[in-house]
Protein backbone atom coordinates (compact mmCIF):
# COMPACT_ATOMS: atom_id res chain seq x y z
CA UNK A 1 0.00 0.00 0.00
CA UNK A 2 1.29 3.50 -0.81
CA UNK A 3 0.10 7.08 -1.21
CA UNK A 4 0.09 7.95 -4.89
CA UNK A 5 0.48 11.41 -6.35
CA UNK A 6 1.49 13.08 -9.59
CA UNK A 7 4.42 15.51 -9.44
CA UNK A 8 6.18 17.20 -12.31
CA UNK A 9 4.37 14.83 -14.71
CA UNK A 10 5.61 11.75 -12.83
CA UNK A 11 3.77 9.26 -10.63
CA UNK A 12 5.14 9.15 -7.09
CA UNK A 13 4.16 6.35 -4.69
CA UNK A 14 5.33 6.87 -1.15
CA UNK A 15 4.89 6.01 2.50
CA UNK A 16 6.97 6.63 5.55
CA UNK A 17 7.10 5.15 8.99
CA UNK A 18 9.19 3.63 11.75
CA UNK A 19 10.20 -0.03 11.67
CA UNK A 20 10.98 -2.32 14.57
CA UNK A 21 10.19 -0.18 17.60
CA UNK A 22 10.70 -2.56 20.53
CA UNK A 23 8.65 -2.21 23.70
CA UNK A 24 7.99 -4.36 26.77
CA UNK A 25 4.95 -3.75 29.02
CA UNK A 26 4.10 -5.11 32.47
CA UNK A 27 0.62 -5.03 33.99
CA UNK A 28 0.23 -5.77 37.69
CA UNK A 29 -3.02 -7.26 39.03
CA UNK A 30 -4.01 -6.23 42.57
CA UNK A 31 -3.40 -9.83 43.77
CA UNK A 32 0.30 -9.61 42.77
CA UNK A 33 0.00 -11.48 39.45
CA UNK A 34 1.98 -9.78 36.69
CA UNK A 35 1.42 -9.95 32.91
CA UNK A 36 4.18 -9.22 30.43
CA UNK A 37 4.35 -8.66 26.67
CA UNK A 38 7.22 -7.85 24.35
CA UNK A 39 6.30 -6.22 21.04
CA UNK A 40 8.18 -5.10 17.94
CA UNK A 41 6.07 -2.43 16.28
CA UNK A 42 6.34 -1.24 12.68
CA UNK A 43 4.31 1.74 11.50
CA UNK A 44 3.70 3.19 8.05
CA UNK A 45 1.73 6.37 7.48
CA UNK A 46 0.12 7.40 4.22
CA UNK A 47 -0.26 11.12 3.75
CA UNK A 48 -0.23 13.90 1.26
CA UNK A 49 3.35 14.95 1.99
CA UNK A 50 4.61 15.18 -1.58
CA UNK A 51 6.27 18.60 -0.98
CA UNK A 52 8.72 16.83 1.35
CA UNK A 53 9.89 14.73 -1.61
CA UNK A 54 9.75 17.42 -4.25
CA UNK A 55 10.66 20.76 -2.64
CA UNK A 56 12.08 19.80 0.76
CA UNK A 57 9.05 21.24 2.59
CA UNK A 58 8.52 18.99 5.65
CA UNK A 59 5.51 20.82 7.05
CA UNK A 60 3.19 17.82 6.50
CA UNK A 61 5.60 15.21 7.83
CA UNK A 62 5.01 13.31 11.07
CA UNK A 63 8.58 12.63 12.22
CA UNK A 64 9.32 8.93 12.45
CA UNK A 65 10.91 9.74 15.81
CA UNK A 66 7.50 10.97 16.98
CA UNK A 67 5.97 7.70 15.77
CA UNK A 68 8.47 5.81 17.93
CA UNK A 69 7.67 7.96 20.96
CA UNK A 70 3.96 7.42 20.38
CA UNK A 71 4.46 3.67 20.79
CA UNK A 72 5.89 4.22 24.29
CA UNK A 73 3.25 6.83 25.17
CA UNK A 74 0.39 4.54 24.10
CA UNK A 75 1.98 1.61 25.96
CA UNK A 76 2.02 3.78 29.09
CA UNK A 77 -1.59 4.86 28.50
CA UNK A 78 -2.70 1.22 28.13
CA UNK A 79 -3.27 0.83 31.85
CA UNK A 80 -5.23 -2.42 31.43
CA UNK A 81 -3.86 -5.57 29.82
CA UNK A 82 -4.54 -5.28 26.10
CA UNK A 83 -4.22 -7.75 23.20
CA UNK A 84 -1.68 -6.78 20.55
CA UNK A 85 -4.45 -6.29 17.95
CA UNK A 86 -6.18 -3.63 20.07
CA UNK A 87 -2.87 -1.89 20.73
CA UNK A 88 -2.26 -1.77 16.97
CA UNK A 89 -5.78 -0.41 16.42
CA UNK A 90 -5.25 2.28 19.09
CA UNK A 91 -2.03 3.40 17.43
CA UNK A 92 -3.62 3.48 13.97
CA UNK A 93 -6.60 5.41 15.37
CA UNK A 94 -4.28 7.97 16.93
CA UNK A 95 -2.29 8.55 13.73
CA UNK A 96 -5.34 8.84 11.47
CA UNK A 97 -7.34 11.15 13.77
CA UNK A 98 -4.63 13.29 15.39
CA UNK A 99 -2.80 14.27 12.18
CA UNK A 100 -4.84 16.01 9.53
CA UNK A 101 -2.58 15.07 6.56
CA UNK A 102 -2.51 11.37 7.43
CA UNK A 103 -5.00 9.48 5.27
CA UNK A 104 -4.24 5.92 6.45
CA UNK A 105 -2.04 4.06 8.91
CA UNK A 106 -0.59 0.59 8.74
CA UNK A 107 0.62 -1.02 11.96
CA UNK A 108 2.33 -4.37 12.16
CA UNK A 109 3.33 -5.86 15.51
CA UNK A 110 5.23 -9.05 16.33
CA UNK A 111 4.73 -10.37 19.85
CA UNK A 112 7.23 -12.70 21.46
CA UNK A 113 5.86 -15.67 23.35
CA UNK A 114 6.67 -14.91 26.99
CA UNK A 115 4.84 -17.72 28.79
CA UNK A 116 4.20 -17.87 32.50
CA UNK A 117 6.43 -20.44 34.23
CA UNK A 118 5.13 -23.07 36.60
CA UNK A 119 7.07 -23.75 39.79
CA UNK A 120 6.05 -26.80 41.83
CA UNK A 121 3.02 -27.09 39.54
CA UNK A 122 1.87 -23.56 40.41
CA UNK A 123 1.72 -20.65 37.94
CA UNK A 124 4.42 -18.17 38.95
CA UNK A 125 3.21 -14.63 39.62
CA UNK A 126 6.01 -12.78 37.87
CA UNK A 127 8.19 -15.43 36.16
CA UNK A 128 8.13 -15.98 32.38
CA UNK A 129 10.05 -18.07 29.84
CA UNK A 130 10.40 -17.38 26.15
CA UNK A 131 8.75 -19.76 23.71
CA UNK A 132 9.90 -19.96 20.12
CA UNK A 133 6.74 -18.96 18.27
CA UNK A 134 5.71 -15.41 17.62
CA UNK A 135 2.27 -13.88 17.35
CA UNK A 136 1.60 -11.21 14.74
CA UNK A 137 -1.04 -8.51 14.30
CA UNK A 138 -1.57 -6.30 11.28
CA UNK A 139 -3.95 -3.36 11.17
CA UNK A 140 -4.78 -1.00 8.35
CA UNK A 141 -7.02 1.94 9.18
CA UNK A 142 -8.13 4.68 6.82
CA UNK A 143 -9.24 8.14 7.90
CA UNK A 144 -12.72 7.19 6.71
CA UNK A 145 -12.76 4.51 9.43
CA UNK A 146 -12.35 1.56 7.02
CA UNK A 147 -10.47 -1.10 8.97
CA UNK A 148 -8.66 -4.35 8.26
CA UNK A 149 -7.38 -6.56 11.08
CA UNK A 150 -5.31 -9.71 10.72
CA UNK A 151 -3.67 -11.93 13.31
CA UNK A 152 -1.10 -14.61 12.86
CA UNK A 153 1.52 -16.97 14.19
CA UNK A 154 5.00 -17.56 12.90
CA UNK A 155 7.87 -19.88 13.76
CA UNK A 156 5.43 -22.61 14.82
CA UNK A 157 7.54 -25.75 14.31
CA UNK A 158 5.49 -28.93 13.96
CA UNK A 159 6.67 -32.44 13.22
CA UNK A 160 5.10 -35.87 13.04
CA UNK A 161 7.08 -39.07 12.72
CA UNK A 162 4.55 -41.09 10.70
CA UNK A 163 1.14 -40.82 8.99
CA UNK A 164 2.62 -38.91 6.08
CA UNK A 165 3.43 -39.86 2.51
CA UNK A 166 3.85 -38.50 -0.99
CA UNK A 167 2.85 -40.54 -4.05
CA UNK A 168 1.54 -40.15 -7.56
CA UNK A 169 3.51 -37.02 -8.49
CA UNK A 170 4.97 -36.40 -11.96
CA UNK A 171 7.93 -38.63 -12.78
CA UNK A 172 10.43 -37.76 -15.49
CA UNK A 173 14.08 -38.22 -16.29
CA UNK A 174 15.14 -35.92 -13.44
CA UNK A 175 12.93 -37.50 -10.76
CA UNK A 176 14.67 -39.64 -8.16
CA UNK A 177 12.35 -39.13 -5.15
CA UNK A 178 10.82 -42.51 -4.25
CA UNK A 179 7.07 -42.72 -3.68
CA UNK A 180 6.26 -43.37 -0.04
CA UNK A 181 3.40 -43.86 2.40
CA UNK A 182 5.73 -43.63 5.38
CA UNK A 183 7.79 -40.55 6.03
CA UNK A 184 8.47 -37.91 8.66
CA UNK A 185 6.72 -34.58 8.10
CA UNK A 186 8.26 -31.41 9.52
CA UNK A 187 7.26 -27.81 8.93
CA UNK A 188 7.40 -24.31 10.35
CA UNK A 189 3.97 -22.79 10.06
CA UNK A 190 3.47 -19.12 9.28
CA UNK A 191 -0.25 -18.41 9.50
CA UNK A 192 -2.25 -15.25 9.18
CA UNK A 193 -5.99 -14.87 9.29
CA UNK A 194 -8.08 -11.84 8.49
CA UNK A 195 -11.04 -10.90 10.65
CA UNK A 196 -14.34 -9.72 9.18
CA UNK A 197 -14.37 -6.54 11.29
CA UNK A 198 -14.35 -3.55 8.95
CA UNK A 199 -14.92 -0.65 11.34
CA UNK A 200 -13.87 0.31 14.86
CA UNK A 201 -17.49 -0.13 16.01
CA UNK A 202 -17.62 -3.76 14.84
CA UNK A 203 -14.66 -4.87 17.02
CA UNK A 204 -15.92 -7.21 19.78
CA UNK A 205 -16.26 -5.48 23.13
CA UNK A 206 -14.76 -8.28 25.28
CA UNK A 207 -11.31 -6.89 26.22
CA UNK A 208 -9.48 -10.19 25.76
CA UNK A 209 -11.43 -11.33 22.67
CA UNK A 210 -8.37 -11.44 20.37
CA UNK A 211 -6.23 -13.29 22.93
CA UNK A 212 -8.83 -16.03 23.28
CA UNK A 213 -9.68 -16.26 19.59
CA UNK A 214 -6.01 -16.53 18.61
CA UNK A 215 -5.47 -19.35 21.07
CA UNK A 216 -8.53 -21.12 19.56
CA UNK A 217 -7.26 -20.72 15.98
CA UNK A 218 -3.81 -21.97 16.93
CA UNK A 219 -5.34 -25.03 18.60
CA UNK A 220 -7.42 -25.83 15.51
CA UNK A 221 -4.34 -25.52 13.27
CA UNK A 222 -2.27 -27.83 15.48
CA UNK A 223 -5.05 -30.37 16.11
CA UNK A 224 -5.77 -30.61 12.38
CA UNK A 225 -2.10 -31.07 11.50
CA UNK A 226 -1.76 -34.03 13.85
CA UNK A 227 -5.29 -35.47 13.92
CA UNK A 228 -6.72 -37.30 16.94
CA UNK A 229 -4.67 -39.70 19.08
CA UNK A 230 -4.12 -42.25 16.30
CA UNK A 231 -3.20 -39.44 13.89
CA UNK A 232 -4.47 -38.63 10.44
CA UNK A 233 -2.78 -39.58 7.17
CA UNK A 234 -1.28 -36.71 5.16
CA UNK A 235 -0.87 -37.46 1.42
CA UNK A 236 1.02 -34.16 0.97
CA UNK A 237 1.78 -30.90 2.72
CA UNK A 238 -0.68 -29.29 0.29
CA UNK A 239 -3.56 -31.52 1.46
CA UNK A 240 -2.81 -30.97 5.14
CA UNK A 241 -2.45 -27.21 4.66
CA UNK A 242 -5.84 -27.08 2.95
CA UNK A 243 -7.47 -29.13 5.74
CA UNK A 244 -6.01 -26.77 8.34
CA UNK A 245 -7.19 -23.61 6.56
CA UNK A 246 -10.64 -25.11 5.86
CA UNK A 247 -11.08 -26.09 9.49
CA UNK A 248 -10.31 -22.53 10.66
CA UNK A 249 -12.84 -20.99 8.25
CA UNK A 250 -15.41 -23.65 9.16
CA UNK A 251 -15.02 -23.09 12.89
CA UNK A 252 -14.70 -19.30 13.14
CA UNK A 253 -17.23 -17.22 11.27
CA UNK A 254 -15.49 -13.99 12.16
CA UNK A 255 -12.45 -15.11 10.13
CA UNK A 256 -12.81 -14.29 6.43
CA UNK A 257 -9.55 -15.65 5.04
CA UNK A 258 -6.51 -17.67 6.09
CA UNK A 259 -3.03 -17.73 4.58
CA UNK A 260 -0.68 -20.57 5.48
CA UNK A 261 2.97 -20.98 4.59
CA UNK A 262 4.17 -24.47 5.39
CA UNK A 263 7.68 -25.24 4.16
CA UNK A 264 8.40 -28.94 3.85
CA UNK A 265 11.47 -29.13 6.08
CA UNK A 266 13.35 -32.20 5.02
CA UNK A 267 14.75 -34.84 7.34
CA UNK A 268 16.82 -37.00 5.04
CA UNK A 269 17.05 -40.78 5.48
CA UNK A 270 20.54 -41.84 6.54
CA UNK A 271 22.10 -44.83 4.74
CA UNK A 272 25.79 -45.50 5.29
CA UNK A 273 27.78 -48.21 3.60
CA UNK A 274 31.38 -49.07 2.78
CA UNK A 275 32.96 -51.62 0.50
CA UNK A 276 33.45 -53.93 3.49
CA UNK A 277 30.21 -53.17 5.25
CA UNK A 278 27.27 -52.55 2.92
CA UNK A 279 24.94 -51.69 5.83
CA UNK A 280 26.71 -49.65 8.49
CA UNK A 281 23.42 -47.79 8.79
CA UNK A 282 20.41 -49.05 6.87
CA UNK A 283 17.52 -46.61 7.00
CA UNK A 284 14.42 -48.12 8.59
CA UNK A 285 12.45 -44.92 9.30
CA UNK A 286 14.71 -44.31 12.25
CA UNK A 287 17.91 -42.30 11.62
CA UNK A 288 17.63 -38.94 9.82
CA UNK A 289 19.81 -36.04 8.80
CA UNK A 290 17.89 -32.86 9.78
CA UNK A 291 18.22 -30.01 7.26
CA UNK A 292 16.99 -26.44 6.86
CA UNK A 293 17.69 -25.87 3.20
CA UNK A 294 16.72 -26.37 0.59
CA UNK A 295 13.13 -26.87 1.70
CA UNK A 296 9.85 -27.25 -0.16
CA UNK A 297 7.98 -23.92 -0.22
CA UNK A 298 4.25 -24.52 0.00
CA UNK A 299 1.75 -21.79 0.71
CA UNK A 300 -1.88 -21.03 0.00
CA UNK A 301 -4.70 -18.67 0.98
CA UNK A 302 -8.28 -19.71 1.50
CA UNK A 303 -11.11 -17.19 1.72
CA UNK A 304 -14.86 -17.17 1.64
CA UNK A 305 -16.33 -16.26 -1.72
CA UNK A 306 -18.45 -13.14 -1.27
CA UNK A 307 -21.94 -13.64 -2.64
CA UNK A 308 -22.88 -10.94 -5.17
CA UNK A 309 -26.61 -11.39 -4.40
O1 LIG B 1 4.09 -32.92 0.53
C2 LIG B 1 4.87 -32.74 -0.42
N3 LIG B 1 4.51 -31.87 -1.42
C4 LIG B 1 5.31 -31.60 -2.49
O5 LIG B 1 4.95 -30.81 -3.39
C6 LIG B 1 6.56 -32.26 -2.52
N7 LIG B 1 7.59 -32.25 -3.41
C8 LIG B 1 8.54 -33.08 -2.93
O9 LIG B 1 9.66 -33.30 -3.48
N10 LIG B 1 8.14 -33.65 -1.76
C11 LIG B 1 6.90 -33.15 -1.49
N12 LIG B 1 6.06 -33.37 -0.46
The answer to whether 164 and 151 are in contact (CB under 8 A) is no
Element (H, E) at 149: strand 147-160
Tell whether ligand 1 has an atom less than 6 A from the beta carbon of residue 263: no
Task: Check pocket membership of 166 for ligand 1, CB cut-off 6 A.
Answer: yes
225 lines ligand 1 (CB under 6 A): no
Closest Cα to atom 2, ligand 1: which residue? Answer: 236
Contact 131, 115 (CB under 8 A): yes
Half-sphere exposure of 71 toward its Cβ, with a 13 Å CA cutoff? 25
237 is in an annotated binding site: yes
Q: What is the pLDDT of residues 149-175, one digit of tens each?
A: 999 999 999 999 999 999 999 999 999
Element housing 306 (H / E): none
User: Which atom of ligand 1 is nearest the CA belonging to 298?
Assistant: 5
pLDDT for the residue numbered 300: 98
Residues whose CB falls within 8 Å of the CB of residue 241, separated by 6 or more in sequence, listed in order: 260, 262, 298, 299, 300
Phi and psi torsions of 61, nearest 5°: -95, 125
Backbone angles phi, psi at 81, to 5 degrees: -55, 135
- The model's pLDDT over 169-220, given as tens digits with 9 standing for 90+, comes to 999 999 999 999 999 999 999 999 999 999 999 999 999 999 999 999 999 9
Question: Is the minimum distance from the CB of 187 to ligand 1 under 6 angstroms?
Answer: no
Residue 308, pLDDT score: 62
Task: Please compute the mean of the pLDDT values over residues 295-309 and round it to a whole number.
Answer: 89
Give 173's DSSP letter.
T
State the Cα–Cα distance between residues 195 and 27, nearest whole angstrom: 27
Q: How far is the CA of 236 from the centre of ligand 1 (A)?
A: 6
The pTM of this model reads: 0.94
CB-ligand 1 contact for 234 (6 Å cutoff)? no
CA of 215 to the centre of ligand 1 (A): 29
Cα(91)–Cα(166) distance, integer angstroms? 46
**281 annotated to a ligand binding site:** no
Instruction: Tell me what pLDDT residue 294 has.
Output: 98
Element holding 128 (H helix, E strand)? strand 122-142
| Atom 1 of ligand 1, residue of closest alpha carbon | 236
Question: Which pLDDT score is estimated for 309?
Answer: 60
Whole-number average pLDDT of the chain: 96
Most confident of the ranges 13-17, 54-58, 148-152? 148-152
Q: Is pLDDT of 49 > 90?
A: no
pLDDT beyond 80 at 1:
no
Q: Is 296 in the pocket of ligand 1 (CB under 6 A)?
A: yes
Catalytic machinery residues: 18, 64, 266
102 among the known binding-site residues? no
ipTM exceeds 0.95 = yes
User: Would the annotation count 166 as a binding residue?
Assistant: yes
- Evaluate if residue 108 carries a pLDDT over 90: yes
272 pLDDT higher than 90:
yes
Amino acid sequence: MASVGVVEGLKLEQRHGKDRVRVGRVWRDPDGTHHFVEWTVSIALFSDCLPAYVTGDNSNIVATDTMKNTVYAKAKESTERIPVELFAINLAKHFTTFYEPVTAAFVNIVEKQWERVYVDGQPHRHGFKLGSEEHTAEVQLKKSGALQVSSGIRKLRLLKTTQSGFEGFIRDKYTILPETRERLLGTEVTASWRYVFESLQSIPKQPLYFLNRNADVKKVLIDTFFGPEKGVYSPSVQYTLYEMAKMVLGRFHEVSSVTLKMPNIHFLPVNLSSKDNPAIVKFEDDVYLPTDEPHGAIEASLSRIQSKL
